[in-house]
Amino acid sequence: MADEPLVLGIETSCDETGIGIVRGTTLLADAVASSVDEHARFGGVVPEVASRAHLEAMVPTVRRALADAGVTMNDIDAIAVTSGPGLAGALLVGVAAAKGYAVALDKPLYGVNHLASHVCVDQLEHGKLPEPCMALLVSGGHSSLLLVPDITADVRPLGSTIDDAAGEAFDKVARVLGLGFPGGPAIDRWAEAGDRKAIAFPRGLTGPRDAPFDFSFSGLKTSVARWVEARERAGESVPIADVAASFQEAVVDVLTRKAIRACKENGVEHLMMGGGVSANSRLRALAQERCDAAGIVLRVPRPGLCTDNGAMVAALGAELVARDRAPSTLSIPADSSMPVTVTQAAS
Ligand code: KG4
Ligand code: ZN
């Protein structure tokens, strides 16, 4: 609908400069410039390198998004930006740019939570998010199960990782296997040719006395490293595809099992998955299988919208506008440890 507000979203919490433009729940542009190649040789994201890359990519990426959407800056009704959580210096570049655009255009500014944005992005593909819904958020920095009665104002964490995030485990295991950075996509590809039952890796926090909705991936990561080391010490070759497939199965088995249980125990009929790890092909397949068996409707955005992007920020900004939430003030900070319960920065 042409009378819905046109929102530009800016995402710079990690190594992707993402600029998205949406009208209501319609995606018009999703331009992403990634500095991932600059970090690959360090085996992880270097904050200072990421911040500089955002600064260089910001204006060209905004221009690309405007051109893709076929609109001009003057058509934009509101600016949304990730105000946290994430890398402080990286966030700062996006927040500063957003404030600059908001002041120059005299348009409202919405500082939004990166994690809530990962959930809200699904609206761009599958229409309005059913509320309440359960969200399994799995990325490089977070692994959480969230009960979402209202994506703009009420997000309740049921559990989260007590050590490594799921994506972090993928990245670390990929390093052990010499598959480069980021590790998730590489493990996903190698696992296709492997046997997921080849090695019985441990399923963390799945005992009867364990917290039902918390996750732990650190023991699994160590177990994979020990297994690979033992092989190498014995002078045997490492079956990379089998290790990748068995490790991946251990992660996605736990994630899906706990997510389904969370839905059932809370009487929630819709499960949403978001964050970079939800791009994983086996996670998507197993989640679908288990949701079908449990009578739960699964919603997962296409892989390109699971990893960090600006469209997700614009999506949450547009939802805040649609629900008449007050804009954020121009003094919002870049909040590197913004809690998931705070969906919008100070209004
Ligand atoms: O959401 P995201 O792009 O950034 C954060 O907010 O952290 O997630 C990045 C994480 C990385 O750890 C990456 O290895 C993982 O998502 N990832 C994957 C896949 N694609 C990205 N993990 C498993 N399988 C994939 N296909
Ligand atoms: Zn993310």
Mean pLDDT over 5-26 rounds to 97
Q: In sequence order, which residues have a C-beta less than 8 Å from that of residue 330 and are 6 or more positions away?
A: 99, 102, 103, 109
**CA separation for the pair 272, 299 (Å, rounded):** 5
- Cα 127 to Cα 24, 26, 301: the distances in Å are 10, 9, 11
Statement: residue 42 has pLDDT above 90? no
Mean pLDDT over 36-44 rounds to 86
pTM reported for the whole predicted model: 0.95
> 346 falls in which pLDDT band (50, 70, 90)?
confident
> 113 CA to middle of ligand 2, Å?
10
Residue 264: its H or E element: helix 240-266
Q: Are the CB atoms for 309 and 78 separated by under 8 Å?
A: no
Mean pLDDT over 5-34 rounds to 97
pLDDT in tens, 106-153: 999 999 999 999 999 999 999 999 999 999 999 998 999 999 999 999
Which residue, among 231, 38, 270, 44, has the nearest Cα to 149 in the 3D structure?
Answer: 270
Name the residue of 138, 170, 188, 281 to mutate for ligand 1: max ligand atoms within 8 A of Cβ: 170
Ion ligand 2, residues whose Cβ is below 5 A away: 139, 308
**CA separation for the pair 109, 3 (Å, rounded):** 19
Statement: residue 254 has pLDDT above 90? yes
**Bigger pLDDT: 306 vs 42:** 306
Atom of ligand 1 nearest to the CA of 170: 14
Q: Is 319 in the pocket of ligand 1 (CB under 6 A)?
A: no
**CA separation for the pair 317, 110 (Å, rounded):** 6
Q: Are the CB atoms for 196 and 249 separated by under 8 Å?
A: yes
pLDDT at 181: 87
**CA separation for the pair 7, 179 (Å, rounded):** 38
**CA separation for the pair 38, 35 (Å, rounded):** 5
Statement: residue 204 has pLDDT above 80? yes
Ligand located closest to 16 CA:
1
Residue found by looking up tokens 């997510």 in the block: 259
Atom of ligand 1 nearest to the CA of 139: 8
> 239 CA to middle of ligand 2, Å?
31
Fill in the amino acid letter for 130: P
Return the number of other C-beta atoms located less than 10 Å from residue 88's C-beta.
16
Fill in the amino acid letter for 10: I
> 172 CA to middle of ligand 1, Å?
12
Q: Is 139 in the pocket of ligand 1 (CB under 6 A)?
A: yes
Mean pLDDT over 275-289 rounds to 97
pLDDT in tens, 72-105: 999 999 999 999 999 999 999 999 999 999 999 9
**CA separation for the pair 70, 98 (Å, rounded):** 20
> 76 CA to middle of ligand 2, Å?
24
Residue found by looking up tokens 């949403």 in the block: 272
Q: In sequence order, which residues have a C-beta less than 8 Å from that of residue 343 and are 6 or more positions away?
A: 112, 113, 116, 151, 152, 153, 155, 316
pLDDT at 2: 58
> 200 CA to middle of ligand 1, Å?
24
> 280 CA to middle of ligand 1, Å?
8
pLDDT in tens, 209-227: 999 999 999 999 999 999 9
Q: What are phi and psi of 335, to 5 degrees?
A: -105, 95
**Ligand 1 atom 2 nearest Cα:** 276
Atom of ligand 1 nearest to the CA of 308: 3
pLDDT at 41: 83
> 142 CA to middle of ligand 2, Å?
8
> 3 falls in which pLDDT band (50, 70, 90)?
confident
Q: Are the CB atoms for 19 and 65 separated by under 8 Å?
A: yes
Statement: residue 1 has pLDDT above 60? no
Q: Is 140 in the pocket of ligand 1 (CB under 6 A)?
A: yes
Statement: residue 194 has pLDDT above 70? yes
